[in-house]
Structure formats: structure tokens, C-alpha cells
Amino acid sequence: MKVSFGLSQGGFVEDALLSPSELSEYVGVSYETHSPLGLDVYVEFIYHINRFLSLSVGNGYISKSLIGKTSEYDRLDSGQIYTVYPECYMEVIPFCCSLALSFPLSSSMQVNFYGGAGFYIMNCESKTTWQFGGYDRSTYNFEGNSSQIGYHFGGGFDKEIAMNFLLTIDAEYKIVNFKNIESEELFGDYRTSEYLQWFMRETFTEDFNYQLSEVGLTGLTIRVGIKFRF
């Protein structure tokens, strides 16, 4: 059994303005920011097939804030610019299976290389903000959920610190991108179109439809943990 804690970097969020057609993307003013580090906790159970080969199954918890590319939209032929700052907070529950190769470096230390796949369940809350004219600013909140199969590979070291107790250090790269995000608005009595029309002081001919189109967890994770041998 192994329990580990780590920090994850990387990840991304992509947004999409699907309607109304009265807003068109203002191409050319868009830049990317970097998301802060996230928390990664993982527990796995390991079965040693032989001295060099092992199979493991595990479950964990990942939390992370993601910041996307800032973009601008303008009302057609009006010169009114709306700046959008995409951001979301996500929590992910992974269920993973891995196959590992281990090679001894000394009587108390070994190196491991592993890879595998997992099923990831994600819940997120969008904290995207819209700003008009540099003054008025409104947060566009909604919750979303999605699930996705992802892949991982990595390597690390085990160091025996006491009988049946080992200190572990691992570097792992995940490839997990969530699409088809089902979302639910958090405006209470306000529908999205009504709220944004009030905020923008405009009347749209179509319902306002802005959402996260893709959320990615792809990136590197560094973990430190303890392995127990039974």
C-alpha cells in the first residue's frame, strides 16, 4: 500500500461563445496566463507479480484552479468591447490502474518506471468574469461536470527507511482532457440571457450561450509518499 501527496502543474481551460450572433470575437487581443499549482493526493494498492514487475490500482483526489486565455468580443458595428477572463476551479476523482517495472540500485533503494490508464470524474465551478469599458465587471458562475479516460506515465525512487516502510518520490505526467461538459447555471432566479442582457445593457435576439468547451488536467505532478509492505 502506498499513500502520497503532491503538487501538479499545467492544465488549461478553453471557453466558447456559441450565441448570440450579435457578439463576434475580436481577433488579435488574446494572451495566455499560467495556472497555479494544484493539490494531488493518491492511495494505491500494489501487487508484486515478481521481483521486477508489479500491478497497482488506486484512487485519489485532485483540486486545481485553471486560468484560460483572455479574449475580447465586440457588439457588431457598435465599438462596444467586452473583455472575458476565463477561470474555473476543478475537483477530480481518479480511479487508475498501473503496471510498473522496478530495478534495485542497492539493498535499500530501487528505481521504478510505470504507466497506465484511469477513469477521471470531474466537477468544476466557472468563475469567468466579463468586463465592459474597464469599469463594470460581472462574474459568470456555473457548475459543470464531466468524466473522461486518461493516461499517465512516470518514474521514481523507493528508499527503505525502516522495516516494511519506504519513502517514495515520483514524477508523473498525466494526459487528461475533459470535453462535453454538462453545466448548470448558478444565477438563482436569473437566466443567463436575462442576466447578461442587464449587465451589458443590451437586448439580444438570441439567448446568451457562453460555456467552457474543454478543461484539461494534462501536466506534470511531483509526489512524495510512504509505502507500507505487508
Give the total number of structural domains in the chain: 1
The Cα–Cα gap between 139 and 151 comes to: 34
What is the reported pLDDT for 202? 61
What is the reported pLDDT for 188? 44
Which is more confidently placed, 57 or 139? 57
The Cα–Cα gap between 142 and 209 comes to: 12
Q: Which segment of 14-23, 182-191, 194-203, 213-222 scores lowest on mean pLDDT?
A: 182-191
Do 152 and 172 contact (CB within 8 A), yes or no? yes
> Which residue reads 523507493 in cell numbers?
158
What is the reported pLDDT for 208? 64
Do 87 and 106 contact (CB within 8 A), yes or no? no
The Cα–Cα gap between 139 and 196 comes to: 10
Q: Assess whether pLDDT exceeds 60 at residue 7.
A: yes
> Which residue reads 468591447 in cell numbers?
81
Q: How many Cβ atoms sit within 10 Å of the Cβ of residue 124?
A: 24
CATH at residue 38: 2.40.160.20
What is the reported pLDDT for 211? 75
User: What are the φ and ψ backbone dihedral angles of 197, each rounded to 5 degrees?
Assistant: -65, -40
Give the residue among 46, 64, 43 at the shortest CA–CA distance from 55: 46
The predicted model gives 171-197 an average pLDDT of 70
Give the residue among 173, 228, 170 at the shortest CA–CA distance from 45: 228
The predicted model gives 170-197 an average pLDDT of 71
Q: Which domain holds residue 39?
A: 2-228
Burial 152-185 (b: 16+ CB within 10 A, else e): bebbbebebeeeeebebebebebebbbeebebee
What is the reported pLDDT for 21? 65
Tell me, rounded to whole angstroms, the distance of Cα 36 from its chain centroid: 11
What is the reported pLDDT for 207? 64
What sign results for the dihedral spanned by CA atoms 129, 132, 138, 140? Answer: negative
Which cell is 39 given? 493539490
Q: Which segment of 3-7, 79-83, 121-125 scores lowest on mean pLDDT?
A: 79-83
The predicted model gives 76-102 an average pLDDT of 84
What is the reported pLDDT for 15? 77
The Cα–Cα gap between 62 and 196 comes to: 32
What whole-number percentage of the chain has pLDDT above 70?
Answer: 74
Q: Which segment of 113-127, 145-159, 170-184 scores lowest on mean pLDDT?
A: 170-184
pLDDT in tens, 29-88: 555 567 789 999 999 999 999 989 999 999 999 999 988 878 777 766 666 677 777 888
The Cα–Cα gap between 196 and 198 comes to: 5
Q: Assess whether pLDDT exceeds 90 at residue 136.
A: no
Contacts (Cβ under 8 Å, ≥6 apart) of 69: 14, 30, 31, 32, 33, 86
